[in-house]
Structure 1
């Protein structure tokens, strides 16, 4: 039975790339379900799957995050991982899909949970914006803020893995500067907001040499995250499960000194305990 992957919104569950990839469970928010219902929901997932990995966006309302931590405490279980991930919404959705793909592999729940931080470094997540006046997730200079008020202005913004902002030229003769893209094979996914532009598919995708382009509905949390509804959000990620498997499998595995689960990296995905520092010699 694969480890259950859970999300905090149904629009973070992208279509499965193949028939072997399971879906993710969208957890009920506190404004729709009481504490007892939330306890029953997570308890049922643990009973059915054994372990649950819930991906919590950094933009998640505090009341939702507190509810999930309270439920885990009430259940007194170390089988629920609550992963705080600092990616834009579409990047979160792609990371969730990668975890869903890997959940059917032979990785232990601890390795799968701690792999989320590793995989997030390989997701190039950004947006084409009609304004950066209210963008507070990445640094925006005063000059860009001023240009944001000029009608027709557009900005290519990359939030992960290295924040950058590029003002796209208005004239067709000017060679556009583009955000630096991945140097490995990716598939580009984009979602349209209220900005009428094909720039992501016609300009960015060829420049990044992606292996394919897919369009999906815009997550509800995208406009608040980017500070404007006038956007086209995009994210490039590794689509091939064999490459994802090799990437995770190549990292040395350790045992968590607190809960005993396997982990990769420097922190357990389930109990958040840091990896013990190696003992120094005499």
Structure 2
């Protein structure tokens, strides 16, 4: 099977098992400490020769040297066929985003639409974790009272990093649930050192999750991202390719005035330029928000 656009990642943690036999693999680009610059150039050149365009997904939490290497490779190759897509999602959520892009790579979307679709898809990924402490959590807004409760022995917290940050106390008579998606999703769970089934027993029924929760290995970067190893990470996401296709296809496409690539939303996935304002540009096109499935 020939895939026109290659999906590459900066860590093996971002590669989940394929959703179906048609889901292509993602190429893992080795970090600067494990790969010389010349070798990295050769790796990307090979991808370009084989696929035509390359979309590299790099979490904003990755070490600065990783992003610097990617920019250096793109600059030295002088190629406008390499898209560097960053994401603020936590590790498991970022891996789900990568798998969705892999699923969509076999569709008839251009490389430009696929790259700019990453920001749209992230709005429909509910990524969070159950934490044994929030005292070192600095990537999600945490109130002072929650910080103080985080020092109490046995305290557990349900935290949602996106699309809207939330934090609730788990357990006890006054337990609250995180506000979840209003559309059908599936649940992915990765267990750390915390012993709890809260995502499957409490969250899944409240969020009307389809089917049983699927368990995967905890990404190696998750403890650092969440500030503790005592966690269970979870993600509610759209899993069916027809739904993902409809979501992306529902957004009006434009041509980037700077690099000429197709795009959806408010930013080109290849050169990061915003589309030229036109009278026809509506709120949906400006925000990149499609219809909720």
Secondary structure in 2 matching 1:145: helix
Q: What is the Cα deviation at residue 259 of structure 1?
A: 1.1
> Could you say which residue in structure 1 is the equivalent of 2:231?
231
Alignment of 1:79-94 (within 5 A): 79-94=81-96
TM-score, length of structure 2 as denominator length:
0.93
Gaps in structure 2 of 5+ consecutive residues? 281-293
Residue 279 of structure 1: how far off its partner (Å): 6.7
Q: What is the CA distance between 1:17 and its match in structure 2?
A: 1.3
State the partner residue of 2:197. Answer: 198
Match of 2:277 in 1: 277
Tell me how far 1:239 sits from its aligned partner: 0.3
Corresponding residue for 2:185?
Answer: 186
- Aligned position for 2:109: 107
Alignment TM-score, normalising by the size of structure 1? 0.96
Which position in structure 1 is the counterpart of 2:248? 248
Residues 220-279 of structure 1, C-alpha deviations (whole Å, 9 max, x = no match): 111110000000000111001000000100100000111111100111101111111227
> Structure 2: how far apart are the matches of 1:144 and 1:100?
38
Map of 1:210 onto structure 2 = 209
Deviations 1:11-61 (A, max 9, x none): 211111111110101110001011101111111111111111011101010
For the 8 Å contact 2:12–2:28, the answer to whether it is kept is yes
CA distance in structure 1 between the aligned counterparts of 2:206 and 2:117, rounded to whole angstroms: 29
User: 1:117 aligned to 2:119?
Assistant: yes
SS in 1 for 2:103: helix
C-alpha separation in 2, matches of 1:237 and 1:149:
31
* Deviation of the 1:176 alpha carbon: 2.4
Contact 2:13 2:91 in 1 (8 A): no
Structure 1: stretches of 5+ with no match in the other structure: none
* 1:117 CA drift (Å): 0.4
Is 1:259 aligned to residue 259 of structure 2?
A: yes
Q: 2:146 & 2:130 partners in 1: Cα distance?
A: 14
| Inter-partner Cα distance in structure 2 for 1:84 and 1:11 | 15
CA distance in 2, matches of 1:24, 1:227: 28
CA distance in 2: counterparts of 1:140 and 1:247, whole angstroms: 32
Residues matched between the structures, number: 277
Distance in 2, Cα, partners of 1:200 & 1:131: 16
Supply the distance in 2 between the matched residues of 1:64 and 1:245 (Cα, whole angstroms).
31
Provide the residue aligned with 1:71 in structure 2: 73
Q: Distance in 1 between matches of 2:174 and 2:243?
A: 34
- Conserved? CA contact 2:101–2:118, under 8 Å: yes
**Which stretches of structure 1, 4 residues or longer, exceed 6 Å deviation after superposition?**
none
- Report the counterpart of residue 268 of structure 2 in structure 1: 268
SS of equivalent to 1:122: coil
